Chains A and B, each alone.
Chain A
């Protein structure tokens, strides 16, 4: 048995949150990871500020001239119809979190449930069906899936989220399935069977919590993937429907950069780059901290 399994089991039998405590300690020592977390926190504050209406509320108003340069009034200038790019960039932060969080939570939850069920029933027809569904969804071209979901929901603002969740959960499910297959042969699960606990209870109370470290890392990866996919999907017209996003700003800017007007492009790219970069590093640090084998 590898160390990972033993430590995961220790979570159950009361030896406390040793894995989590150790991970937290390790994470705190990781300077890059801490800075990345701080970066993500700043973005989260910006996003919350938009939600509570402190800033970014004027993103839709047309107030300035066309392509105004950077000034005290318009910190990032204005776009082609005279909207404040600063307000739009801030508002887009909220959209990014909305897309990222919804997709990360949705995809991870779905992946956890299906992965755990498939792993628990591995070798039975339930497992076969879930594997088949994953294989099928993996083989349908992504753009076709997104486009079809977008059309079927009749331009609903959630089409993009749903399409991403529908594909992103598969990666998580495969990992969880593998982990659960390992876990279910352990003594405590056998013991749970022996005292007559229901299958549902065993899966959700005793097995799934021990895959939490995988889920956490997968969620951060989905978060980043969602924000990046949004750019391409918005460029193709399959992305955010109402509201503003960095992807929309970048697709607006594709016809502005040649006019020598880079404000939209830079504002959106830099802000997005910062968040994605911070999240990537945070995700790496988290992975390191949660990996019991990493020697540091």
Chain B
């Protein structure tokens, strides 16, 4: 009950954030975004036709009523139709978001699980060669551009010039085996890059915990390493780790990965969002922005509840 009440309060407190995000984004989109008019016009338009399209797009209306209309759309969650494809925005989102999640999930889980594992290993052997080896690899992963990793993995693993083990492009989740075929190479590229950042971050967190007084004391009293790790170190490191994980969820759900999607031909939301940004497809953009903001509020709530679950001293107030 307490949690429910708390959640509700927290969600209401999130309204200013949603308002802020939608207002700033909409300002950017309306005043600084690309003009869709000339995208839609034929080869030899007349001034009259230009005016017709502009008014259909709502460009001739003042900002405030348009923003209020946007807020109404956020509440009813009906953003109308895309100006590019004319498809319903809700149809587009419900088709592409699951794909993006299915694409990102394995890399996300592997990247974090492996990151924590390597970080523990490195932290445990701090200063020794295992630590240096792991951190060296992390530094390499962090220094390579994602774009280069994608091109490299695709040529190496998928093309007929390379090992030719996986399909170059496509997406099929009808059977687990098919899913595995298509998701492997993008996942490898993601993990390769994410692992460096994750390992470094988690190692820092764990090292911080290891140097705390109570851990040192426990160590001095001869607590077995496994117990020490699990009870004193890992548990206390959970707060920053969970925070990091939960806060990356909105981006996975909404932003997708433009580069992965366009190189591997995966019909996710990343490409939809990018196309909407560069062509000024306002209905799609409005939906994406609102959804991101709402997910952020939810993520905040989740981490708060997790904090409290981990450490009851944090009161829900």
Interface residues of A (CB under 8 A from B): 132-133, 135-145, 147-149, 151-152, 224, 228, 231-232, 235-236, 250-251, 254, 257, 265, 269, 272-273, 276-277, 280-281, 284, 293-296
Ordered by A's residue number, 30 sampled pairs between the chains whose C-beta atoms are within 8 Å are: A132-B16, A135-B296, A136-B20, A136-B21, A137-B24, A138-B296, A139-B17, A139-B21, A139-B292, A140-B24, A141-B288, A143-B274, A144-B28, A145-B28, A147-B278, A151-B32, A151-B34, A231-B145, A232-B145, A232-B259, A236-B258, A236-B274, A251-B147, A257-B151, A273-B143, A277-B139, A280-B139, A281-B139, A294-B211, A295-B211
Interface residues of B (CB under 8 A from A): 16-17, 20-21, 24-25, 28-29, 31-34, 127, 135, 139-140, 142-148, 151, 155, 211, 250, 254-255, 258-259, 273-274, 277-278, 285, 288-289, 292-293, 296
State how many angstroms separate the Cβ of A37 from the closest Cβ of chain B.
Answer: 15
Query: CA–CA, A177 to B176, complex, Å?
Result: 47
Residues of the B chain whose Cβ atoms lie less than 8 Å from the Cβ of A147? 33, 277-278
Query: CA–CA, A132 to B293, complex, Å?
Result: 12
Closest to A278 in B: B143
Q: In the complex the two chains form, is A148's CB within 8 Å of B17's CB?
A: no
Residues of the A chain whose Cβ atoms lie less than 8 Å from the Cβ of B32? 148-149, 151-152
Q: In the complex the two chains form, is A141's CB within 8 Å of B258's CB?
A: no
Closest to A230 in B: B145
Q: In the complex the two chains form, is B296's CB within 8 Å of A139's CB?
A: yes
Q: Beyond A151-B33, A152-B31, is A144–B25 a contact (Cβ under 8 Å)? A: yes
State how many angstroms separate the Cβ of B260 from the closest Cβ of chain A.
Answer: 12
Q: How many A-B residue pairs lie within 8 Å, measured between CB atoms?
A: 104
Residues of the B chain whose Cβ atoms lie less than 8 Å from the Cβ of A280? 139, 142-143
Residue in A136, A273, A293 whose Cβ sees the most chain B Cβ within 10 Å: A136
Residues of the A chain whose Cβ atoms lie less than 8 Å from the Cβ of B33? 147-148, 151
Q: In the complex the two chains form, is B139's CB within 8 Å of A235's CB?
A: no
The 3 closest A-B pairs by CB, nearest first: A152-B32, A148-B28, A136-B20
Residues of the A chain whose Cβ atoms lie less than 8 Å from the Cβ of B20? 132-133, 135-136
State how many angstroms separate the Cβ of A53 from the closest Cβ of chain B.
Answer: 29
Q: In the complex the two chains form, is A276's CB within 8 Å of B143's CB?
A: yes
State how many angstroms separate the Cβ of B59 from the closest Cβ of chain A.
Answer: 15
Residues of the B chain whose Cβ atoms lie less than 8 Å from the Cβ of A136? 17, 20-21, 24
Closest to B34 in A: A151
Given contacts A139-B296, A272-B145, 20 further A-B contacts (CB under 8 A): A135-B296, A136-B21, A139-B17, A139-B21, A139-B250, A140-B21, A141-B292, A144-B29, A144-B289, A147-B33, A152-B28, A231-B145, A231-B147, A231-B148, A232-B146, A250-B148, A254-B147, A269-B144, A269-B148, A280-B139
Residues of the B chain whose Cβ atoms lie less than 8 Å from the Cβ of A231? 145, 147-148
State how many angstroms separate the Cβ of A18 from the closest Cβ of chain B.
Answer: 20
Residues of the A chain whose Cβ atoms lie less than 8 Å from the Cβ of B142? 224, 276, 280
Query: CA–CA, A139 to B255, complex, Å?
Result: 11
Q: In the complex the two chains form, is B145's CB within 8 Å of A269's CB?
A: yes
Closest to A280 in B: B139
State how many angstroms separate the Cβ of B14 from the closest Cβ of chain A.
Answer: 9
Query: CA–CA, A139 to B31, complex, Å?
Result: 19
Closest to A251 in B: B147
Q: In the complex the two chains form, is B250's CB within 8 Å of A143's CB?
A: no
Query: CA–CA, A139 to B299, complex, Å?
Result: 11
Residues of the B chain whose Cβ atoms lie less than 8 Å from the Cβ of A235? 147, 259
Query: CA–CA, A145 to B27, complex, Å?
Result: 11
Residues of the B chain whose Cβ atoms lie less than 8 Å from the Cβ of A132? 16-17, 20
Closest to B161 in A: A258
Residues of the A chain whose Cβ atoms lie less than 8 Å from the Cβ of B144? 269, 273
Closest to B278 in A: A147
Q: In the complex the two chains form, is B140's CB within 8 Å of A277's CB?
A: yes
Residue in B20, B31, B255 whose Cβ sees the most chain A Cβ within 10 Å: B20
Query: CA–CA, A98 to B144, complex, Å?
Result: 20
Residues of the A chain whose Cβ atoms lie less than 8 Å from the Cβ of B285? 144
Q: Which of B135, B143, B145, B293 contacts A250 (CB 8 A)?
A: B145
